[in-house]
């Protein structure tokens, strides 16, 4: 039980200290090195809004995000569980900030866990658009 409490405190402190700091360069380096599981906070523009789909873990809002750092550009797939979080009203071209966990699928990089984790196993994430945060 003491370990669980320590994990919750660490998660909350980490979320408070880093959640507003975007670091596209670090995220792109994590992608280049295949570092799955990295917590990332990136800013970019919505390249495409995909249909929301139902899955075994809830409905997911999905979109493609163009993330740049210097001359490096990377399109990242974002999957946000709207069974847990509020759905963000996204449109192509919207500037957004996304915080979540980096993973990879057959098509490339994915950011997921863009919301709170009801079981406290992951750092809380979010999607921020037009000054509004969706967690």
The mean pLDDT value for 81-104 works out to 94
- Spell out the residues 6+ positions from residue 15 whose beta carbon is closer than 8 angstroms to its own: 123, 124
* Count of CA atoms in the C-beta half-sphere (13 A) of 107: 7
pLDDT tens per residue, range 27-78:
999 999 999 998 999 999 999 999 999 988 888 899 999 999 999 999 999 9
Between CA 120 and CA 92 the distance in angstroms is 32
Q: Which residue has the tokens 């669980």?
A: 4
Q: What is the pLDDT of residue 11?
A: 45
CA torsion sign for 87, 134, 46, 110 is negative
Nearest of 69, 93, 80, 57 to residue 133 by alpha carbon: 80
pLDDT beyond 60 at 8: no
Residue 20 pLDDT level (bands cut at 50, 70, 90): low
Residue 2 pLDDT level (bands cut at 50, 70, 90): very low
């Amino acid at each position: 039980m003491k370990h669980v409490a320590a994990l919750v405190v660490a998660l909350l402190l980490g979320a408070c200290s880093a959640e507003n700091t975007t670091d596209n360069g670090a995220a792109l380096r994590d992608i280049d090195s295949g570092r799955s599981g990295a917590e990332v906070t990136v800013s970019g523009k919505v390249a495409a809004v995909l249909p929301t789909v139902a899955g075994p873990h809830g409905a997911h809002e999905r979109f493609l995000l163009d993330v740049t750092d210097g001359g490096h550009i990377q399109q990242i797939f974002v999957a946000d569980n709207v069974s847990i979080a509020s759905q963000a009203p996204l449109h192509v071209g919207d500037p957004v900030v996304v915080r979540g966990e980096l993973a990879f699928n057959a098509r490339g990089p994915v950011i997921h866990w863009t919301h709170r984790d009801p079981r406290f196993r992951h750092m809380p994430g979010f999607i921020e658009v037009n000054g509004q945060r969706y967690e």
